[in-house]
Structure 1
Amino acid sequence: GTFLSQIKNDVSFLLAGRYLIFLEHQSTPNENMPLRCLYYVCEQLRKTIDSKQIYMNQRITLPVPEFHVFYTGGVNTPEEYEMKLSDAYAEASNAVNLELKVCVHNVAYDEAKLLLGRSAAMRDYAMFIQYVKVNMARGMEREAAIREAVRYCIEHDVMKDFLIEHEREVIDMVAFEWNQKLFEEAKFEEGLERGREQGLEQGLERGREQGLEQGRVFAVLGMLKEKLPLEMISRVSEMSVEKIREIGRMHSLL
């Protein structure tokens, strides 16, 4: 129950006085998690250890840290994999003097996943996120999709007590993590900018037109990779659903 009771925040806690465990929930992959966890653990130790102690001769006993990320997004990743701080180092070296490992758990809902089979709390949360995605795929705005998922889960006894007590916090948290409108606009503008740059480099009107069109394709590909509904992509990109399907098939995304 610890995960659900702290769902509105990243979580860190001592287990039997030994383990300092950091948990974070994410809906998009982040390659900087080892670095973020390094910040987390340093900040936590600064809070719990008197700064005067580090200048004393006697060794300070430290809790053994663990770092876990629970991923619920749509990008296909292994069910469990490891990220290392050393992967980000500018130069590879056999002698790594500072290492930090993060265990990433893909808990996007799938009945076959081992972790979801072992943890009822994680399974229920993964189901809740899945209901949000399904509602959005049906064309609902994000907050409406979250509210409907909350209503459905309460009605079907999925995280019922927790959602009744923390409904407003859950809606705010999930909506904050990924603002759909801003995300769509950013993806589209990013694609357009890339297209404009291509056109300007060519220095020809035809090149600019081709660049803008290529930018629209970049934007569509980005939204397809995030598994947004085709109707939504069509509305944002002003391309027909048929054209979007064609682009998706050409790039093995549909």
Structure 2
Amino acid sequence: MLFGDRERLLGLYNAISGKNYQDPEELEINTLENAIYMGMKNNLSFLIDDRLSLYEHQSTVNPNMPLRFLFYISDLYFCEQRAKRACLHDHLATAARVKDLGMTTEENFYGRKALSIPIPCFVIFYNGAEPQPDRKILRLSDLYTVRMKETQLELTAVLLNINRNHNRELMEACRDLKDYAEYVDRVRKYARELPLSEAVERAITECIREGILKEFLEKNRAEVKKMSIYEYDQEKHIRMERQDAWEDGVQEGIKEGELRGRNAQLVEQIKKKLDRGKSISRIAEELEETENRIQELIREYGLDK
């Protein structure tokens, strides 16, 4: 939402790439309309100076991002003319416009002439609660079931931690990003002691008063509040699901451990009774188990050898 504005997006791109573009009109936003992969929507894709950048904002770390980016970039590179698969943000995009952006169409994809395509760049902006380094590389090859020194298909994505006090150099180069990190940090801090709606309202009011995203928050206050509440609730829900899954795993581990302990004790008793020459039926009776159960344990633990 914040970086949907061309001028702000250009400032963010300059900070990441080290470039110094001044004209926002040079930047072509070509986000795929309604493109959702694995339940999450791509935030932004845009083209400038034959460089195709795909930016994704996340509050949870997703190791599958390289694969999602692969699907997404494939659709961007291969854009059909049919309206149902229009690839540009503008629904009225034409084949000529697609060509202007350096993409391909159904007509020229199978031609003999080598195509020219823009070089891609994949960036994930992370601001979740789980600790992460300032910078982290995610690779498509990490998802392969077979690991090799060299792979014929690789895609790397850069994860940047944009929480407060992370990536300081980047934050100083992009004031909007720094202010956004400050705003998110305040929402989280106040949400620990206030109802979420009040926490968001307090963060917005303070930021406006202190000149943090002042113009943006004043102009979009209601929408920002609504989105902040939704995103925080979603982030909290994901954390709770993970915690529940972890606790379930611990409980399952305890149950499995108890079962293994009982089995080990039972097997030891069976072994001693077998050594004394007792029959299966007699052992089952003494241990209050079925004969089938005793025979099963004897086979499983090799007591019949």
Q: TM-score, normalised by structure 2?
A: 0.58
Matched with 2:268 is none
* SS of corresponding position for 1:102: strand
User: Post-superposition shift, 1:126?
Assistant: 0.8
> Counterpart amino acid of 1:40?
Y
1:102 lines up with 2:150 in the alignment: no
Matched with 2:208 is 154
Matched with 2:58 is 26
Q: List runs of 5+ in structure 1 lacking aligned partners.
A: 205-254
**Which whole-Å deviations, capped at 9, do the CAs of 1:109-137 have from their partners, x for residues lacking one?**
11771111111111111111111121123
1:41 lines up with 2:90 in the alignment: no
TM alignment of 1:194-209, pairs within 5 A: 194-198=249-253, 200-201=255-256, 202=258
Percent identity reads 27
The answer to whether the 8 Å contact 2:43/2:56 transfers is yes
> Counterpart amino acid of 2:5?
S
User: Post-superposition shift, 1:81?
Assistant: 2.3
TM alignment of 1:240-251, pairs within 5 A: none
The answer to whether the 8 Å contact 2:161/2:167 transfers is no
Q: Distance in 1 between matches of 2:183 and 2:167?
A: 17
Matched with 2:140 is 85
Equivalent residue in structure 2 for 1:170, among 197, 211, 224: 224
The answer to whether the 8 Å contact 2:122/2:156 transfers is yes
User: Post-superposition shift, 1:105?
Assistant: 1.2
User: Post-superposition shift, 1:185?
Assistant: 4.6
> Counterpart amino acid of 1:168?
A
Matched with 1:140 is 194
TM alignment of 1:44-123, pairs within 5 A: 44-45=76-77, 46=79, 47=87, 48=98, 49-110=104-165, 113-123=168-178
Q: Distance in 2 between matches of 1:87 and 1:112?
A: 25
CA RMSD of superposed structures (Å)? 2.9
Which is richer in helix?
Answer: 1
**Which whole-Å deviations, capped at 9, do the CAs of 1:189-233 have from their partners, x for residues lacking one?**
3244234424544359xxxxxxxxxxxxxxxxxxxxxxxxxxxxx
Matched with 1:226 is none
Matched with 1:15 is 48
Q: 1:192 to 1:77 in 2, by over 3 A?
A: closer
* SS of corresponding position for 1:108: coil
* SS of corresponding position for 1:81: strand
User: Post-superposition shift, 1:12?
Assistant: 0.8
TM alignment of 1:230-241, pairs within 5 A: none
Give the number of aligned pairs: 203
Greater than 6 Å deviation, 4+ residue runs? 6-9
> Counterpart amino acid of 1:33?
M
The answer to whether the 8 Å contact 1:4/1:162 transfers is no
Q: 1:63 to 1:188 in 2, by over 3 A?
A: closer
User: Post-superposition shift, 1:32?
Assistant: 1.4
Q: 1:73 to 1:50 in 2, by over 3 A?
A: same
Q: Distance in 2 between matches of 1:151 and 1:174?
A: 14
The answer to whether the 8 Å contact 2:183/2:204 transfers is yes
Q: 1:164 to 1:194 in 2, by over 3 A?
A: same
Q: List runs of 5+ in structure 2 lacking aligned partners.
A: 10-40, 80-86, 88-97, 99-103, 261-305
The answer to whether the 8 Å contact 1:79/1:113 transfers is no
User: Post-superposition shift, 1:25?
Assistant: 1.4
Matched with 1:3 is 3
> Counterpart amino acid of 2:185?
Q
> Counterpart amino acid of 2:187?
V
**Which whole-Å deviations, capped at 9, do the CAs of 1:149-176 have from their partners, x for residues lacking one?**
1222112111111122223333343333
